[in-house]
Structure 1
Amino acid sequence: MEKETERIEAFSDGVFAISVTLLVLELHIPEVKDGNTYTHLLEQLKLQWPGYIAFVISFFSIFIIWVNHHKVFKQIYKRNTGLMFANGLILFLVSLVSFPSALLARFFLTDSKQLSVTIYTGLFVLINLAFNLLWQQATSDKKLLRPGISDAAIRQLRNNYLYGFPTYLAAFVVSFFYPDLALSICVLLWVFWAASSKKINFTETPAL
């Protein structure tokens, strides 16, 4: 079967690449006056540690989203309008990741920490919903999928994203009270997805 989604994938890869690039713009060169010693520079760099954490977390979140996006589109061979709009929603939300990442970097050490984490985790609730919508659109007509994909693989992919929703929602709710814990929940979920995605069997099991 000829693959019809190559342009969608190429455009998506471009959006992911730009989104990752935007993250680094929030890493600022410290303003150190002439004549200051290296210790002054070191102190200024240390003060920016929330920005480094926000960059690392956001980079790997986008990377894992891209990995899952790639795995999904390896199973999608044809397109329809609903699938294209669902994919567009994912890209729209991914392109926004740099904004809450910047909020984390700027306000993590202030009284606005809770709000910045809430906005951050809330965005990933929406991203997960968009992924569920994409896979629902793809599986609503199995003719859109790669020939030979197993029903078990379809269910497992769906369940992976469905499990993500209550987890992200829990992180969002927890962020109102324990923002550090909320971020930890998101990171643990990304580790789970990274570990579990390679265990999915995408081929049909022959009947015995």
Structure 2
Amino acid sequence: SVLIMWMNHHNMFNYIRKIDRRLMLLNGLLLLFVVLTVFNTSLVANHIQLPDANVAATVYAGTFFVLAIVWNGLWWYCTSGRRLLGRDVTEQQASAITRQYRVAPISYGVALLIAPFSGLASVAVILAVAGFFAITATIGE
């Protein structure tokens, strides 16, 4: 999943042509949650067949949910008023990426809501989202 996030992160920055301090801070926060996915993936892998699987899945889904909120916030910041986008980026391209990114907080929110009841179902939703973003990582290139 880190590779998929890296591919999408790289793709996003193909459209961003200016950098400011706020973007750097948002990007640092985003990368913090990307790094946490390694720990949380290990947590879920070690607990998915144990009685506390739902707790591990809740932590896992919660991390992805917050990551998706930060990711969307970073993109919104860059696209708001076209503040950091390149001149060659069309409104259609920016809108397509915005629609694509909306999938994550909605899907991870669903995964978070079902995690306390079924850790396995929650992880399945997260894996489906990873599949979606693996396929769409190169949209717009």
Give 1:188's aligned amino acid: A
SS in 2 for 1:96: helix
Work out which of the two has the higher radius of gyration on C-alpha atoms and give 1 or 2.
1
Provide the residue aligned with 1:16 in structure 2: none
Q: CA deviation at 1:87?
A: 0.4
Residue type matched to 1:155 in 2?
Answer: S
Alignment of 1:64-103 (within 5 A): 64-103=4-43
Label 1:105 to 1:197 Cα distance change in 2 as closer, same or farther (>3 A): closer
User: 2-side partners of 1:177 and 1:195: how far apart?
Assistant: 29
Mapped pair 1:109 → 2:49: yes
CA gap 1:155/1:107 in 2 versus in 1, 3 angstroms: same
Where does structure 1 lack aligned partners over 5 or more consecutive residues?
1-60, 203-208
- Corresponding residue of 2:138: 198
Residues 11 and 138, structure 2, Cα contact 8 Å, conserved in 1: no
What is the one-letter code of the residue matched to 1:87? N
Tell which deviates more after alignment, 175-184 or 97-106.
97-106
* More helix as a share of residues: 2
Give me the CA root mean square deviation: 1.5
The 3-state SS of whatever aligns with 1:95 is: helix
> Taking CA–CA contacts closer than 8 Å with sequence separation of 6 or more, which of the two structures ends up with the larger relative contact order?
2
Q: Give the fraction of aligned pairs with identical amino acids, expressed as a percent.
A: 26
- Correspondences of 1:80-159 after superposition (within 5 Å): 80-159=20-99
What letter corresponds to residue 95 of structure 2 in structure 1? R
Q: Which residue of 2 aligns with 1:160?
A: 100
Change in 2 beyond 3 A, CA 1:154/1:96 = same
Deviation at 1:121, TM superposition (A): 0.9
Contact 2:61-2:111 at 8 Å conserved across structures = yes
Q: What residue identity is the alignment partner of 1:79? A: I
Partner of 2:126: 186
**TM-score normalized with structure 1 length:** 0.64
Cα offset for 1:143? 4.7
- In the superposition, the TM-score normalised over structure 2's length comes to 0.91
Cα shift readout 1:108-159 (whole Å, capped 9, x = no counterpart): 2211111011101110001101110110111124252122111011011111
Q: Tell me the amino acid that sits aligned with residue 80 of structure 2.
A: S
Secondary structure of the structure 2 residue equivalent to 1:140 = helix
**Aligned-partner Cα distance in 1 for 2:5–2:114:** 22
1:194 & 1:127 partners in 2: Cα distance? 16
- Alignment size in residue pairs: 141
